Structure 1
Amino acid sequence: MGLSKTLCITLLAGSTLLLPNALMAIGGPSGTKTDWQIQGQLGTIKMNPYGLSPLTAVIMDNGYSLSNISVTIIPKPNGQTISYNVSSKAAKTYGGIPIFGLYPSYLNTIKVSYTKTANGKSQKITDEIYKIATPGINIEPSGNTSQKGVPFESVKVLKMDPKFADRLYLVNNVPGKQQGKGSQSVWNNPIGGAMEWDENSNVFIVDTKGEVRWYFDNDKLMDWDNIYNRGIMMGFHQNKDGALTWGFGQRYVKFDVMGREIFNRKLPPSYIDFSHAMDNMQNGHYLLRVASANALRQDGKHVRTVRDTIVEIDENGNVVDDWKLYDILDPYRSTIIKALDQGAVCLNIDASKAGKTLSDQELAKMDKDGDFGDIAGVGIGRNWAHVNSVDYDPTDDSIIVSSRHQSAIVKIGRDKKIKWIFGTHKGWGKKFQQYLLQPIDKNGKQIICDDDYSKCPGYENEEGGFDFTWTQHTGWRIDSKSDKRYFYLSVFDNGDARGAEQPAFASQKYSRAVIYKIDQQKKTVEQIWEYGKNRGNEWFSPVTSLTQYEPDKDSIMVYSATAGMAFDLSKGVSIGDPKPEIDEFKWGAKEPSLQIQFSGTGAGYQAMPFNIKQAFDLKN
């Protein structure tokens, strides 16, 4: 025992004596030495600096003040060059030169120019080369069979006009539910709501060669064990300062493209269930499409409402105002609700209900049984409105909302008074009829439609004429072309329940991208551009999608986000995987100048150009 103890002490003593030499062999003596690899005249390269954007990096400033910075990502052979300038403010914010647009699973070559200053001395460095190796794309598949790849199977660039060759497109897709992540709880006090919309989603940026150049690692943002920190990411917009805003579940957030958090806020307590729309107002406030956490119905029931409330929030998270649409519109108008294809009620896809519609008896039964929640129906506490976009008109302090389940786009003032309703005239009560817009042709002559203004000349599948929008998405004001009187409106007309009915054959359905001109004084509406009829059913998107005017190129950008989704009505199963398609048109053109088609993504939601030059300016 004594010998063993002595031996242990001897060994420990020996280990203690040898430990400093061992440490020196491993990493050298401690001190001021910096032993990270430095490629150029600046500091080390920090990959994925905020843990959320794996295809970004920062070339650290190494103690220098940096100015006159430019960055170029050298493309692959026949690839797309990404170049941008970086302000001194941005360099200070990130601690160096932010690098965006790296190819995944690739040894990227980056060329930077800059002026570095230290101790009163400045030096201009031109075309310095850095090499950055990147990981692959790590977006977790949903398990849905329509999502074959990670995050997609293929990207095909079908057409590309040189005018659009520098485009980068941010794509927001919703591949479907993941077992064990989200969709496992519902609100029950009060009853109803739409909390089950807390599924998986993904966001990435592609160039016009079909290459992924950025993606957001949203799984690092979500906490799937916390109902207040998970949900489908939707409503993306790029702000004037280049950062991105969006919402998910019970939160709304702002991050820059490097993954830096600017804010991440829970919805105010009176509101729940964000989805679809977060609009950036010109005054710096935000309009969020939410629902009311506790609404008192006339029958005395307390319910959580569904997708029918707009709240305005200032930069600091204070509630400025709200618009409770169930107090402004008619939540019992059933015209479109009864005509909807129940197999595709937005993202509530159920192939077993494809082609089926609701009857008056079924609607009445919901009231009798006390059914509330995310179900297509009438009355407060059900999905009667399904607002999928909101926009702001600063000329008269009004909001514009797109209500899918009313097939209506409505303008409402700060005083909560309706200014106009664009949509079929069928089913609106007497007090609303004064707000309905009258269709006119290009000469200003009234277009005479059928008795209830559901079918107008041009309703059938031919070019020209006029049609309303049906279960539409993104009713947005074209700010640069509109004024106080004339309102230019861009819409994606999904086309379900066209003419307030289901067609004899599902293959007859089609979608359109449409631009309208509204004379707000005369209460008239003129259809000035459309696309999609000629594509027929293969371009038909039963749900989601976007049409947006792009002022930088005087163009119209369209995302037919669930094109190709199809069902076998006899078997009640899905037989076609979505093939989302980006199309961009020169203003007024009949055919797109750019077409990019995706496959293997699952359902798409929205897409839009991303302005890299804005992202690192940081002047606004």
Structure 2
Amino acid sequence: MHGISRREFARFTILCAAAAAAPMAAHAFGGPSGAATIYKNQGHLGELITNPYKIAPLTAIIRNGGYVVRNAKVRILPKKDGQEIAYAVSDAQVLTHGGIPVFGLYPDYRNTVEITYDRIYNGKTEHFTDKVFIRTQPVYGLVPFPKAEVKKAAEGKFADRLYYINNIGGNNNTRHAVWNNPEGGALQWSSYPLNMVIDTKGEIRWFLYPEGIYNVDSLYDGGIMMGLRQNDDGAITWGYGQHYVKYDIMGREIWNRRLPYGYNDFSHTMDAAQNGHYFLRVASSNLKRLDGRNVRTVRDMIIEVDANGTVVDEWRLWDILDPYRNTAIKALDQGAVCLNIDPKLAGKTLSDEELQKLDTEAHFGDIVGTGPGRNWAHVNSVDYDPTDDSIIISSRHQCAVIKIGRDKKVKWILGASRGWKKPWSDALLTPVDAKGKPLACDDASCSNTDFDWTWTQHTAFRIDSKSDKKVMYLSVFDNGDGRGFDQPPLPDMKYSRAVIYRIDQEKRTVEQIWEYGKEKGHEWFSPVTSLVEYMPDKDSIIAYAATAGANYDLKTGGLTSAPNPYLDEFEWGSTVPAVEIQLKNTTGYQAFAFDVHKAFNGVIR
């Protein structure tokens, strides 16, 4: 004991035990304010937190360190010959994240990040420029991410482009699950997401690690992530299975909602409309058909929800359109009915007898057929037109783009005339040339012209900045299956197109003003998915041929390897890509230009 009492020794022992049990962050007992921490500051703010919201590993927050931080800017210094990412951060974003948000880190790399900011403390403002080093892990997930090959390097105004890629990671065993209360529906779609942002060098600069918000094996938390869009506030909205969600690019949840009980099976499209509402393509959870059967419907319903998730309107498409029109359905390649790809059925079409058998035997669910409860419409996009309070839908299995008013009346139909009965036939647009003269057309095609309709198309988007109430410019991806309501003798005769139409809504005419892809032939053919969209920031068009480049056995039509999608961006009016990137061995869905300045509410001056 030598000079220390038993009481003092016991107290010393207790203190030592307490110190040993303290968190590793404590180097010492600290002072009256509590334990000291041991994180190492880089610069003049607080600690560095990587992947702060657990779903975006190539992001970080440099905490404010207890100071007031204003006027922040971030630069991710590029690799040799790489692409710099630089953006301003609004004060609101700094407050929201408790520090400076960092986006665009390279994976598996020691990143150098330069931040500039004003630090305010005790009434004094100081300006700092710090360099922060952030080591990242390789890209990871349940399935491998694709490699990107730059075919046409970006130059000039496109050199700082970032592209958000929404791909599909392969089907999971939940495909065996089906609804049975009532029967039908499309629940069996569930695939692990492959969402990433790439730069023009083909480098991944962001990816989604979805484990915290997604479970591919869950009936309610699985599905396929689709309809991703960057909203005007910079955040991203999309849906999957029975959810629709909104997150910022840092991974912070804004909201994650289950579909309202009356609806199910989200897929394909979610439009953030100009009126502040969201338009979702869903299906009915319980529809009583005219024959008395209760079914879940399939991809044939649009709902409008407000910012709080309240359903304010619905479009029951089986009541608005003709759900028994089978003209296009009979021409579909049964080997590629959207994501239900079956090489054994490549080139096969359905006869009247086979369709009638489906009807009489009362099969329901995600099958090609007619009538509510089957995949007769397959709506894959919806876009809101604020000039007349209408929606524009793309119906793949009707080979038609259709505008429908708030009164649930069809305003016009862009598509070949075969099979449309009255009153729908009265709404068909008339094809014209550049002088407004009607073209020579039959019920499936137009002769002596480059004009063509779209076939099993995806994404019919109004080009807002070039359109008004009278004239609409519309971008569409013409997948090309069933072109002319027919299948060609050989699979490699098929092709896809990115196309833009000019629609005079008063004269009810349509003019084709631009196309790309026909000249590329089968190399660019994308039987399913894909996108064409106008980008107002650079007056450009993005086309994502999302299932192009797949290898087929031309004798059997069978798929022998995964697709190799093409991402192209064009100057407005040009048919030569300004940027072209090909992704390897991956099934693509859609892609768009990601605006980092919008994401952080600021533009670098």
Q: Does 1:152 align with 2:146?
A: yes
Percent of aligned pairs sharing the same letter: 55
Task: Please state how far the C-alpha of 1:571 moved relative to its aligned partner.
Answer: 4.3
C-alpha distance in 2 between matches for 1:134 and 1:285: 37
Q: State the match for 1:5 in structure 2.
A: none
Letter in 2 for 1:437: L
In the TM superposition, 1:481-520 aligns within 5 A as: 481-520=466-505
Q: Distance in 2 between matches of 1:205 and 1:105?
A: 16
Letter matched to residue 608 of structure 1: F
Displacement after TM superposition at 1:173 (Å):
0.3
Asked whether 1:557 is paired with 2:542, we answer yes
Give the residue type in structure 2 aligned to 1:483. D
C-alpha deviation, 1:567, in angstroms: 3.2
Match of 1:246 among 238, 243, 248: 238
**Which residue of structure 2 aligns with residue 349 of structure 1?**
341
Secondary structure, counterpart of 2:81 in structure 1: coil
CA contact 1:107–1:131 (8 Å) conserved in 2: yes
Residue 120 of structure 2 is aligned to residue 130 of structure 1:
no
SS of equivalent to 1:421: strand
Give the CA deviation at 1:139: 2.1
Report the alpha carbon displacement of residue 119 of structure 1 after superposing the two structures with TM. 1.7
Residue 365 (structure 1) aligns with: 357
- Correspondence list, 1:428-507, <5 A: 428-450=420-442, 452=443, 454-457=444-447, 465-507=450-492
Helix, strand or coil: the match of 2:214?
coil
Distance 2:390 2:131 in 1: 51
Shift of 1:128: 1.3
1:554-586: per-residue Cα shift (whole Å, max 9, x none)? 111110000012433644631243111110110
Q: Does 1:63 align with 2:63?
A: no
Q: Per-residue deviation at 1:14?
A: 11
3-state secondary structure, aligned to 2:434: coil
Post-superposition Cα deviations, 1:49-105, rounded to whole Å, max 9, x if no partner, equal 110100000000001111111110000000000000001111010000000000000
Distance apart, 1:19 and its partner CA: 3.2
Does the C-alpha gap of structure 1 residues 23 and 421 become closer, same or farther in structure 2, counting only changes over 3 Å? closer
- Cα distance, 1:523 vs structure 2: 0.6
Corresponding position of 1:19: 17
Of residues 163, 171, 179, the one that matches 1:169 is: 163
* Aligned partner of residue 163 in structure 1, secondary structure: helix
Structure 2 letter corresponding to 1:520: Q
Say yes or no: does 1:545 pair with 2:530: yes
Gapped runs of 5+ residues in structure 1? 1-11, 142-149, 459-463
Query: Per-residue displacement from partner, 1:3-27 (whole Å, max 9, x unpaired)?
Result: xxxxxxxxx9998686357569975
Alpha-carbon RMSD across the aligned residues, in angstroms, is 1.8
In structure 2, the partner of 1:427 is 419
Match of 1:527 among 497, 507, 512: 512
Q: For residue 476 of structure 1, report the CA deviation from its aligned partner.
A: 0.6
Give the counterpart letter for 2:134 in structure 1: I
Aligned to 2:591: 607
The answer to whether the 8 Å contact 2:148/2:203 transfers is no
Match of 2:376? 384
Question: What is the SS of the residue equivalent to 1:380?
Answer: coil
Q: Secondary structure at the match of 1:160?
A: coil
Q: Does 1:337 align with 2:335?
A: no
Equivalent residue number for residue 282 of structure 1: 274
Structure 1 partner of 2:4: none
How far apart are 1:135 and its partner, in Å? 0.8
Deviates more, 1:261-270 or 1:226-235: 226-235
What residue identity is the alignment partner of 1:535?
Answer: K
The answer as to whether partners of 2:492 and 2:554 remain within 8 angstroms in 1 is no
Distance in 2 of aligned mates of 1:23 and 1:291: 55
Gaps of 5+ in 2: 1-9
Alpha-carbon contact 1:242-1:618 (below 8 Å) kept:
no
- For 2:252 and 2:512, the matched residues in 1 are separated by 42
2:81 corresponding residue in structure 1? 78
CA distance in 2, matches of 1:235, 1:24: 47
Deviation at 1:223, TM superposition (A): 2.9
Using the TM superposition, give the Cα deviation of residue 29 of structure 1 relative to its aligned residue in structure 2, in angstroms. 2.8
Q: Give the direction of change, closer, same or farther, for the CA distance of 1:514–1:188 in structure 2 (3 Å limit).
A: same
Residue number in structure 1 paired with 2:6:
none
| Aligned residues of 2:109 and 2:136 also touching (Cα < 8 A) | yes
In the other structure, the counterpart of 1:140 is 142
Aligned equivalents of 2:217, 2:22: Cα separation in 1: 45
Structure 2 counterpart of 1:376, one-letter code: V
Q: CA deviation at 1:237?
A: 0.5
Cα deviation code 1:101-150 (max 9, x no counterpart): 0000000000011001122111111x311000001101211xxxxxxxx2
Q: Which amino acid aligns with 1:55?
A: L
Alpha-carbon spacing, 1:24–1:220, altered in 2? closer, same or farther (3 Å): closer
Cα contact 2:42–2:130 (8 A) shared by 1: no
Aligned to 1:361, the other structure's residue is in SS state helix
The answer for the alignment partner of 1:9 in structure 2 is: none
Q: Deviations over 1:342-382 (max 9, x none)?
A: 00001111011000000011111112211000001111100
Q: Deviations over 1:398-455 (max 9, x none)?
A: 00000000000000000000000000000001221110000000111100112x2x11
Q: Please give the TM-score of this superposition, normalised by the length of structure 1.
A: 0.92
- Are the counterparts in 1 of residues 233 and 598 from structure 2 also a CA contact under 8 Å? yes
- CA 313–16 in structure 1, closer or farther in 2 if over 3 Å, else same: same
